[in-house]
Structure 1
Amino acid sequence: MKKTFQLIATAAAGLEAVVGREIRELGIECQVENGRVRFEGDIESIIQTNLWLRSADRIKIIVGMFPAKTFEELFQGVFALDWENYLPLGAKFPISKAKCVKSKLHNEPSVQAISKKAIVKKLQRYYARPEGVPLMENGPEFKIEVSILKDMVTIMIDTTGSSLFKRGYRIDKGGAPIKENMAAAILLLSNWYPDKPLIDPTCGSGTFCIEAALIGKNIAPGLYRSFAFEDWTWVEKDQVQKARAEARAQMKQDVQLDISGSDLDARMIEIARNNAEEAGVADSILFKQMRLQDLHTDKINGVIISNPPYGERLLDDSAVTKLYQEMGETFAPLQTWSKFILTSDEAFESKYGSSADKKRKLYNGTLKVDLYQYFGQRVKRQLRE
């Protein structure tokens, strides 16, 4: 098997730099590109990035890249790749996805079929199996993806399985929850640190609060879930168990966090508590049923993070306008607090009553949203007495 791999971490548009920073913090050099971060690594790197990246979607191996304008060139390019270094005899290898953009080859089902045929032929030759006799595919699964952009083919294997946002703690959710990896990315983009108070006044199923607690306690986001690569014969089980054991040893269970979430809906608060319990952080978060307008605090230098309901999600326009006005009035007295508010409403600032210090364009799924950032006045904490 290969010792090193060309790898990419995929990311939602606007979050690539956050993913790049996380990868560098793991001690891995990387290049940030549109929608992904490219890096090189070994099996250990595959394990660590899946286990620890909070803001990425998936980790994929790049098997190879080559130009192709015809199906014959596609077949020969796929056939030439070193599949024997990835796919053991008996492996399942569905071509799970083909995506063609601005390319001569644009029939995606045909791209899938021809890529599959080329891999089958290569493996039949390598494992000395007669042509015409189907390969048995009853072993571990390697999901293969084919991407063709401007006639350049990239062939990848997904190491992750279910997307990295699926941490495994979400028992239930509300009408329009934010994905866990996007919530984590926004926390990493904010000026919140675990020694600061954090409030989510529209907490829904509790995602921001739970992700903050996972960051504060240094709990690896992938610790309690499994990954596709764990079934692969060339990934040592001992190596995965060792990485998980090391991640457990790095948890800071005794750290004191000041994280609270509130919501008007009592049912959502119950869901948030259950999710926090499942994530192992229930003791670090105070959830409370409360109207947003009733938010008051004497604490200083805190951070408010909110993903309020907006037009495309849950509320009609008049209710959204009223909610944003109430937000502006309620948050205004909290002058030392920074506020980070995610919404697709382009008229947010006028409804809220003040212009953001900074605005960042992101995508919540396919929906374009903005993260409005208001930075609090800095006050030394000892002046509090």
Structure 2
Amino acid sequence: MPKSVLSKRISIIAMAPVNSASVALGAVHCGASDYLNKPFTIDELASSLERAGLHHHMDSRARQLRDRLQMQEGLGQMIGRSPQMEKLYRILSKVAQSNHPVLILGESGTGKELVARTIHSFGPNPEKPFLPVDCGSLVPTLVESELFGYVKGAFTGANHCKDGLLVAAGSGTVFLDEIGELTLDLQAKLLRTLQEKEVRPVGSTHCTPIKARILTATNRDLAAMVERGTFRKDLYYRLNVVNLRLPPLRDRREDIPLLIAHFLNRIHRAHPGRFSIHDDALHTMVQYDWPGNVRELENAVEHGVTMASGGEIQVGDLPTQLQQLALAVLHAAISAGKNQEAVPCKEIVPLAVKERDAIFDAIRVTNGDKLEAARLLGIGKTTLYRKLKEYGASGARRPD
């Protein structure tokens, strides 16, 4: 039975003029949903068709379930269930099937290259090359030779001909990151390449046709650059056929626990030992604004795993800026507690209990640093040690 037939989402009924169990089993093994022995009656055929329809329906429902399970945490390698990310997934599923240029916008660290890779992976030619170019990290002459290629003798050191990435990608994808860093000369050459669907290598008088899909990304405001005359308007419109704006991590905080779990699982696969994260550390990470976005979050998780003395990441294991946030939140809470006016309540908590809880919270947040805890609480270290002695505990954890 041809694989081209089996690859289609259809139900197959096999028929043969012999009544053989081995033939029937072979047909089912090759992908048939049912088997009929010739000659057969109309009722037998109707029953077989009914069974095939039921099998097709169940198979379709199973595919839908697998798709939903795959989308629980994200799309491809993209992680997130927030409304912003679900909207992005819906757009990506449509954009990926076309061959139009896509401009990916977003702050540094939001995952623009990952989005470009996802578009390529779900596109019509996922088996073809995906070739990224960081336009901001290369000098203009290197960007030109990387993209367009060169011929032998085009410049000093050009000892042989070399195809540029736009040709080498074939019908794959070329991803131009930080497109806003291109000089006006290179912008003009790229525009001509996109319009004519051909490229002229450096030093050559002949053009080579290209088939590659072009995806671009930037964290700069290209529209403002067009107004200032630092980015070509015609190239901007050529690249901006479809644009995707990635949300910063601070606007999708509900995805932070999923991302942390993803990074911890990846670390576990690469190294022995499994790590978890304490609730206080997780709460601090959700509160933080993450100016470096997902890239900064990934670095913070790796920092926490490196500094953790056990299998659980504490607040004290996080980078300095996160520890400072945790201390600031605690100090604000303590100050608010001191300044809060008394209000009627059903249950009055003794002051000694509140004092004890505040002391143990401060010690836990400072990762056992009693001097720092005393400073935050506004008491002397002698007073802190006396209070701990009264509680009959070392201050490492709140007593039951």
What's the TM-score once normalised by structure 1's chain length? 0.26
Larger relative contact order (C-alpha < 8 A, sep ≥ 6)? 1
Q: Which structure shows the higher strand fraction?
A: 1
Q: Radius of gyration: which is bigger?
A: 2
What's the TM-score once normalised by structure 2's chain length? 0.25
